[in-house]
Every structure is written in structure tokens, then in C-alpha cells.
Amino acid sequence: MSDGPPGLRRVDDTCWEIPAGAREDMRVPARVFADAELLEQIAADRSLEQLQNVATLPGIREAALAMPDIHQGYGFLVGGVAATEPPGGVISPGGVGYDINCGVRLLALPLTAEELGARTEPLVHEISRRVPVGTGRAHGGLRLGGGELDRVLAHGPRILLAEHGIGTAEDVAHTESEGCLEGADPAAVSERARARGADQLGTLGSGNHFLEVQRVARIADAATAEAFGLREGQVTVLIHSGSRGLGHQVCTDHVRRMDAALRRHAITLPDRQLACAPLSSPEARAYLAAMAAAANFAWANRATLAHRVRQAVAQVLGRDAAGATRQVYDVAHNVAKLEEHGGRTLCVHRKGATRAFPPGSPDVPAAYRDAGQPVFIPGSMGTSSFVLAGRPGAMERSFGTTCHGAGRRMSRTGAKRQITGAELRRQLTAQGIVVRCPSNAGLAEEAPFAYKDVERVVAVVERAGLAARVAQLVPLGVVKG
């Protein structure tokens, strides 16, 4: 059946497919999780074409997949998933993205929004004072010497805990992969990348990165919320950032290296932005080692940001409140991992997509194993964000994956044409949301109307069986670059 854009056939209530026979170079079908309204928005840019391009990658298995938040990206669409099989299957840096291990960390504070009351604005202000923001902004980051940086690249936030007292053992346990991808090699990270990251730990960045103080507005699954330590009315802080300049440079370095080796590996691509190399090749091994190091750096960055949030909580609410502020979970997007699926080892690319493993998975922390892996789907300034839990359908349909946010439906330039930062600031303030952003232009780029309807996106995820709603969060204050 088909009642969507030309070339797409409807598989079921939430899944649409472009058959592999639609193009001679496609090796597998291209599938999209969406409803009819989201699909119309998705069809407005080149993301469906990019999804078909992904379906041409050597060694890709089952299907090239797209989540309901997809939009056009560098070569490989944002919100895309591709699993390739070694040794001939490839890895593509564009399938991970420039912001390696951009991800989300949720903190839960030991008080309600009502108890926070008039201290909301001082708390948001203190967080913004302690957290450096902005494009390329490094001033105020935790500066590491060469040996320290190597240890962070190799081992992630556990080094910050051991050497700087940043974070807790529970934080590390409640982080995807415990904040450390195997195979990371600091020597695979170029000097340029190292220089860009040396003083950026604990900095937020710009674009869609944010730090948001929130209230738990509704609990959808009481038992799972209890397991996650969430209750109605509770204050939470959601941190969204990644590997900063270091990760960007790692991607740049290895896209160039793989592009130069395409002919040697006899790989022909419809878009050279998908530059790739067989997983058995020296180029792939070098990229995997550098990507893992950048991912570890990103987890350390979010650990440092969380530490600065706790310092702000201590300043405004007291040390007891800071000591009782616990990490719910930290989940990555923009990574590629070797995982077991269907009895095979596959390299799963998740670009703007989040792991969503179900109950019983050994990769889920023991405290959450009966509930399933925590999943975070942020909205945008002025809209809800959601906490979900991974479900078995994700393993059956999407290599254990779901979406990572609402997803853009309008370019940054388009958003700025429709509203000024000053006007958006006034609108958010009128809604009772405290805003701290040094750039009105940057604020306008992230206007809520520039994003898809997050509630519709989450509804698709649930109906598809990828993840289930646990709690709804609404913003009280936001810090942006």
C-alpha cells in the first residue's frame, strides 16, 4: 500500500520503504519510521535521497534506516542508522558525523519545582556563569596537559573521577558503555584535533547544544520512573553536548583519508561525502581508534559539565542538594559500534540516533536492567522533552536504536527569517522560561517552530515498539551558546 510521497510504499502504521530495486546501486531497502505528517516534512529536503545513498554502502545489512526526526546532513542523513558486516562491510565517518558522541545526560535534583520556586532564575544564572558557551569558545574549560589528555582519550570520565574528583562512581556506571569505548588510541588523534580539544572539557558549544533546567510534568510509567529515580514535579537538568572541536577535527581528518583511498578499495559512491573504507582496512582501524577516543572525550566533557551544574546547585541550593543530585543516565548519539545482532557482529552507525536496548540486555546498567535502557528525546526551547525506555522492538526492527530528538524541519537561516532572537527571548520569558544565551542570532536559529513536533515523533517511536514513554519534562530555564 502507498499513500505517501512517490517511491515510498507503506509497510505498516509507522514504517515506509523504498525498495532496493528503486535504484540499481541500492544493496538493501531504505526504511523510514514516520507518520504521514512527519513524512511530508521529511520529504521537503534531501534526506530520503541521502537514505537511498546510504543503502549503497558495501556490506550494509537488512536496510538503511531513518528515524522520525530525520533531516538532511553531511552525506549521511541526521537520524540515520546503518549496520555493516565485517570484514568487507565499511565504516563511514559521515555516518557518525562531525560532532562525535554528541549526546545527552540527565541529572535529577532532590527537590521539586515548587520547592525550587524563586530560586529558578538564580540557579539558571549560576549555571550560565560556570559553563562556557559559544562557537569555538574554550576559555574557562578544564585545561589538560598532554599526558592527562591521553588518559581521558583512552579511558573517558573515569580518569576525571580518579584524578580530579569530577563525578561519582555511580555516574560512570550510569553512562552508556561506562563512558569508554574499547579500542580508543590517543595516538590516532591528530595534533590539530588534540590542540582544538585541549581546553574544551566542560564547555557547551553552540548550535543545538543546550543545558536545560526542567520539571517532571507527567509520569507515564510509574514503575520504570521509580527505577530511574524520577517523580512528578521533580527538578531535572538535561545536558546536550559532544566532543567539541576535537571530534570535529577527527572526522575531518578521516573523511579526507578515506576519500583518498576510495579508488584503492574499488569503492564507488553516489556521494563522496559518504567516504568509507572496509572495516578490515588500515583506514578503518585508524578511524575506529580515533573515533573511540573522541567519544571518550565527549563523555568526559559531559561529566565536567555535570560537575559544573552540581557546583551551581551547591552555590544556590546548598551542598546537601548538590551531593544528592544524581545522574539518571548518559546516552550517546553520533557513534559507530561493533555489536551482536542476529548472531552476527555488525558495525552499527548511529548518526543523530540513540541506542535503545530493551529489558534484560547485559549492556544496560544493573539498576535499570529490568526496566530497559533509559532513552532521552529532547524537544526544543519551549517544548517538552521525554524520558523513555528501550523496548524489544528496537532489537527486532532497528538494531537497538531510536531517535535522538525532535529533528529540524527548517534551516537555521529560515528560522532567523521568521523571528529575531530578541522576540524569541521575550516569548520564552512570557512562558516563564529563564533564558541565558549570549547570541540573539544563535537563539533565533533554535526557535521551537524550526523543529518537528516532538510529541508526534515520540508517538511514532512508541507505536513502532522501539521505546516506551516514561516521563515528560518541561523547561524552566535554558542555557545556550
pLDDT in tens, 74-98: 999 999 999 999 999 999 999 999 9
* Domain limits, the chain: 9-409+451-480
Rounded to 10 degrees, the C-alpha dihedral 426/427/432/434 comes to -50
Is the pLDDT at 138 greater than 70? The verdict is no
Grid cell 590539530 is found at 192
**Per-residue confidence band for 336, with pLDDT thresholds at 50, 70 and 90:** very high
H helices of 131-176, in order, are: 146-155, 157-164, 169-173
Q: What is the pTM (predicted TM-score) of this model?
A: 0.96
Is the pLDDT at 481 greater than 90? The verdict is no
For the chain, what's the residue count?
481
Catalytic (active site) residue 404: yes
Rounded to 10 degrees, the C-alpha dihedral 192/207/254/343 comes to 130
Is the pLDDT at 330 greater than 50? The verdict is yes
241: which strand partners?
103
Task: Determine the average pLDDT of the residues in 406-417.
Answer: 90
Percent over 70 (pLDDT), the chain? 98
Handedness of CA 11, 15, 21, 27 (dihedral sign): negative
Catalytic hit among 155, 307, 349, 404: 404
* Weakest mean pLDDT among 95-109, 119-133, 137-151: 137-151
Out of 3.90.1860.10, 3.30.70.980, 3.40.50.10860, 3.30.460.10, which CATH number does the structure's domain 9-409+451-480 have? 3.90.1860.10
**Per-residue confidence band for 207, with pLDDT thresholds at 50, 70 and 90:** confident
What are 313's three cell numbers?
A: 546547585
Can you tell me the distance from the alpha carbon of 419 to that of 434, in angstroms, rounded to the nearest whole number? 18
Is the pLDDT at 254 greater than 90? The verdict is yes
Is the pLDDT at 1 greater than 50? The verdict is no
Distance between terminal CA atoms of the chain?
A: 45
* Weakest mean pLDDT among 82-86, 239-243, 369-373, 423-427: 423-427
**Smallest Cα–Cα separation from 76: which of 253, 271, 331, 284?**
271
Mean pLDDT of the chain: 95
Task: Determine the average pLDDT of the residues in 356-381.
Answer: 96
Task: Determine the average pLDDT of the residues in 381-409.
Answer: 95
Task: Determine the average pLDDT of the residues in 23-46.
Answer: 95
- Confidence at residue 449, expressed as pLDDT on a 0 to 100 scale: 92
Could you give the 3-state DSSP secondary structure of residue 344?
Answer: strand
Q: How far is CA 440 from CA 422, 426, 449, 452, in A?
A: 6, 11, 16, 22
Task: Determine the average pLDDT of the residues in 179-192.
Answer: 97
**Per-residue confidence band for 5, with pLDDT thresholds at 50, 70 and 90:** low
Is the pLDDT at 340 greater than 90? The verdict is yes
